[in-house]
Amino acid sequence: GAVVSQHPSWVICKSGTSVKIECRSLDFQATTMFWYRQFPKQSLMLMATSNEGSKATYEQGVEKDKFLINHASLTLSTLTVTSAHPEDSSFYICSASSRRLHEQYFGPGTRLTVT
């Protein structure tokens, strides 16, 4: 099956610093990658959609200057949380899809805690 990895699986950072989360499709080329955020006991909230080689499309209410997304290759997308604050603490999940695949496949998620 399609495998998507995320790194790191968890990270603790100080307020004001930046954190980069990587999302990789291991056995397929992902033409589209999605970044989600999940708050405790809530559903997945789509933050942005990124297509390889082009700028990400952000959902309403998501600050693109705060959540920088880069989809530089068909197997790698990164999310950088800039100048992190405690309210950015959350579970971030990426997913990937391709023209060959019919569904999105999710990474294991990254737990971010900002102190």
Partner 1 sequence: DQQVKQNSPSLSVQEGRISILNCDYTNSMFDYFLWYKKYPAEGPTFLISISSIKDKNEDGRFTVFLNKSAKHLSLHIVPSQPGDSAVYFCAASGGTSYDKVIFGPGTSLSVIP
Is the alpha carbon torsion for 113, 20, 107, 38 positive or negative?
Answer: positive
Give the nearest distance from C-beta 76 to partner 1 in angstroms. 17
How many residues are present in the chain?
115
Give the nearest distance from C-beta 115 to partner 1 in angstroms. 19
Give the nearest distance from C-beta 100 to partner 1 in angstroms. 10
Residues in contact with partner 1 by CB under 8 A are 4, 6, 31-32, 34, 42-44, 46, 49, 91, 93-95, 97-99, 101-109, 111
Q: Where are the beta strands (DSSP E) in 9-109?
A: 10-13, 19-25, 32-38, 44-51, 57-58, 67-73, 76-81, 90-97, 105-106
Nearer to partner 1, 87 or 103 (CB): 103
